[in-house]
Amino acid sequence: MPQNTLQVLTDNVDLLKARASKYAVYGVLIAVCAIIIATCLVSYVQHGNVSLSGIIEAQKTNVALWLLDFTPFGFAIWGQYVSSLMAFQAGAMVVDQTNELRAHAAALERRANYEVTHDRLTDLPNQVLLRDRLAQAVQLAQQDRSRMAVLVMDLDQFKDVNDALGREQGDRLLQQVASRLRAAIQDTETVARSGGDEFAVLLPKIRSEEQAVQIAVTIGNALKAAFDLSGSKLDVQASIGISIYPDHGSSADDLLQRAEVAMYTAKQEKVSYIVYESSQEKNSPRRVTLAGELRQALEGDELLLEYQPKLSINNDGNAEVEVLSRWRHPNHGIIPPEEFIPLAERTGLIKLVTSWVLKNVCHQMAEWSSNGMHVGVSVNISAQDLHDQDLYDRVTGLLAANRIEASRLVLEITETSIMLDSERAMSMLHRLAGIGIRISIDDFGTGYSSMAHLSELPVKEIKIDKSFVLGMVDNPKYKKIVRAIIDLGHNLDMQVVAEGVADEWSYRELTALRCDSVQGDYISVPLSAPALAKWIGNAWPARLVENL
Write a three-state SS string for 95-155. HHHHHHHHHHHHHHHHHHHHHHHECCCCCCECHHHHHHHHHHHHHHHHHHCCEEEEEEEEE
Report the CATH fold assignment for 304-543.
TIM Barrel (3.20.20)
Q: For residue range 132-188, list pLDDT tens digits in order.
A: 889 999 999 999 889 999 999 998 878 777 766 777 888 889 999 999 998 888 777
The total number of residues written for the chain in this structure = 548
| Dist CA 370 CA 120 (whole Å) | 60
Q: How many helices (H) and strands (E) does the chain have?
A: 22, 16
Q: For the chain, which residues make up each domain, given as ranges?
A: 3-117, 127-281, 304-543
| Dist CA 280 CA 208 (whole Å) | 21
Q: For residue range 184-230, list pLDDT tens digits in order.
A: 887 778 899 887 888 999 998 888 888 999 999 999 889 988 888 87
Report the CATH fold assignment for 127-281.
Alpha-Beta Plaits (3.30.70)
| Dist CA 52 CA 175 (whole Å) | 94
Q: pLDDT tens track of the chain, all 548 residues?
A: 444 545 544 555 555 555 556 656 666 677 667 667 766 776 666 666 767 776 666 666 666 666 666 666 666 666 666 666 666 666 666 666 667 767 666 665 666 566 677 888 888 888 888 888 899 999 999 998 899 999 999 988 787 777 667 778 888 899 999 999 988 887 778 899 887 888 999 998 888 888 999 999 999 889 988 888 877 778 888 999 999 999 888 888 889 888 988 888 888 777 889 998 877 665 555 666 676 688 888 888 889 999 999 988 876 566 799 999 999 888 888 888 877 887 787 667 888 899 999 999 999 999 999 988 888 999 999 877 887 888 999 999 999 999 999 999 999 988 766 766 667 778 899 999 999 999 999 888 765 455 556 777 899 999 998 888 988 888 888 899 999 999 999 998 999 999 999 999 999 999 999 999 999 999 999 999 999 988 887 755 444 444 44
Q: Which is nearest to 429 in space by CA: 385, 465, 462?
A: 385
| Dist CA 13 CA 88 (whole Å) | 9
Q: Is the pTM of this model over 0.85?
A: no
